[in-house]
Amino acid sequence: MSRRFEHAPVDLPGLPPVLKALLGANLFFYVLGWLVSGEFTRLFGLVPAQVIGQRWVWQLFTYMFLHGSLMHLLFNLLALWMFGSPVESQWGAREFLKYYLLCGVGAGLVSVAVSPHSTVPVIGASGAVYGLLVAFAMLYPDAVVYLYGFFPIKARHMAVLFGVVEFAAGVSHSTPGVARLAHLSGMAVGYLYLRWWWILQLRAKALLGGLLPAASPRPARARAVRAADQPAHQRGARAPESVGAAPVPALSHEEEMAVVDRILDKILEKGESSLTSEELEILRRHRAQ
């Protein structure tokens, strides 16, 4: 299954709901911070010494909505719109929000762990946005993105390039005012979640489904599973079923779990965009179990 990305005007009313809420929250907090000034950043930016010493744990969430300059804000909003819209459309609002917060809070926790006594505030949505870049690259690895509006590059190559640039800049300390560690941490948390934890959840649900009592056979579902399990050159080669033919018996739980395992291995190798509609349907069914 592939997705096409085309040039089109920004359709604000048509944006996914969580993405619209995140864009609005970032704009709101930027204006509020500009009006309130100094103390606002100290209270709601991520100050590791305050998180550790005074238990100001809300900063792990609120720092993502603060920005130091208009350019900082606009860059993050642009990236959030570019990568967040297709990811939320693919995953749905709940999974998208969970992933966004996971990357942002994870990046914040790493910053606190590395510099627990720091009193310098860390602000910005970049940790969560870089996590979205990883998700987009894993979902649509061959999608072409025009870097800085001019240079075409595949999404998977762009994610690697950004990771290398952030690492090099962090090691060289060339931009001390930029939280490079938070950027890299957001990418790392997102990758580990998608590469391991998300896959383990699916496998656990498939295993749980195999331990539950078998339900009554569902011929239509069985045919879909068999179609997804067939080699590509054999699909569509079967003769049409005769009217009144006996229904195809349902697959056993062990057979369905084997199909799910093969689909998960395919995701790890080629990304979710490589799945067929039958394979996606199988995954949706097992996620809902």
In a domain, 242, yes or no: no
Whether 172 and 255 share a structural domain: no
Write the burial class of residue 66 (CB in 10 Å: 0-12 exposed, 13-18 middle, 19+ buried): buried
Structural domain contains residue 225: yes
Q: Both 90 and 178 in a single domain?
A: yes
Sign of the CA dihedral with 46 first, then 48, 53, and 57 last: positive
pLDDT at position 210: 54
Residues 85-122: pLDDT tens digits? 999 988 889 999 999 999 999 999 999 999 899 998 89
pLDDT cut 90: percent of the chain above it: 35
Q: Which whole number is the average pLDDT over 152-169?
A: 85
**DSSP code string of 39-66:** HHHHHHSB-HHHHHHS--TTHHHHGGG-
Cα dihedral 88→89→93→95 (10° resolution): -60
- Give dist(CA 71, CA 221) in Å, integer: 51
Could you tell me if residue 102 is inside a domain? yes
Considering the domain architecture, whether residues 184 and 226 belong to the same structural domain is answered as: no
Q: Are residues 170 and 273 in the same domain?
A: no
| Contacting residues for 53 by C-beta, under 8 A, at least 6 apart | none
Distance (Å, rounded) from C-alpha 284 to C-alpha 289?
9
Residue 131 belongs to a domain: yes
Which DSSP string corresponds to 166-178? HHHHHHHTS-TTS
**Quick one: pLDDT at residue 256?**
66
6 in a structural domain = no
For the chain, percent of residues with pLDDT exceeding 70: 65
CA angle at residue 18 from 16 to 20, to 5 degrees? 70
218 and 161 assigned to the same domain = no
Same domain, 47 and 109: yes
Is residue 36 domain-resident?
yes
Q: What residues have CB less than 8 Å from 233, skipping those under 6 apart?
A: none
Least confident span in 35-49, 139-153, 183-197, 261-275: 261-275
CA distance 60 to 172: 26
By residue count, the chain amounts to 289
Residue 4 lies inside a defined structural domain of this protein: no
> Domain tally for the chain?
2
Q: Are residues 47 and 188 in the same domain?
A: yes
Q: Are residues 257 and 150 in the same domain?
A: no
Task: Give me the mean pLDDT over the 278-289 stretch.
Answer: 67
Question: Who's near 197: CB < 8 A, 6+ residues apart?
Answer: none
pLDDT-based confidence at 6, cuts 50/70/90? low
Within this chain, do residues 29 and 131 fall inside the same structural domain, yes or no?
yes
CA distance 139 to 87: 8
Q: Looking at the domain assignment, is residue 12 inside a domain? A: no
> Range of 256's domain?
213-233+247-287
CATH number of domain containing 137: 1.20.1540.10
Whether 127 has a pLDDT exceeding 80, the answer reads yes
Quick one: average pLDDT of 239-261? 53
Q: Is the pLDDT of residue 44 over 70?
A: yes
**Buried b / exposed e along 9-20 (16+ C-beta atoms within 10 A):** eeeeeebbebbb
Whether 174 and 223 map to the same domain: the answer is: no
User: Mean per-residue pLDDT for 26-33?
Assistant: 93
Least confident range from 58-62, 107-111, 269-273, 275-279: namely: 269-273
Q: For residues 39 and 72, state if they share a domain.
A: yes
- Say yes or no: 228 and 113 in one domain: no
Q: Which burial class, exposed, middle or buried, applies to 221 when counting CB atoms under 10 A from its CB (0-12, 13-18, 19+)?
A: middle
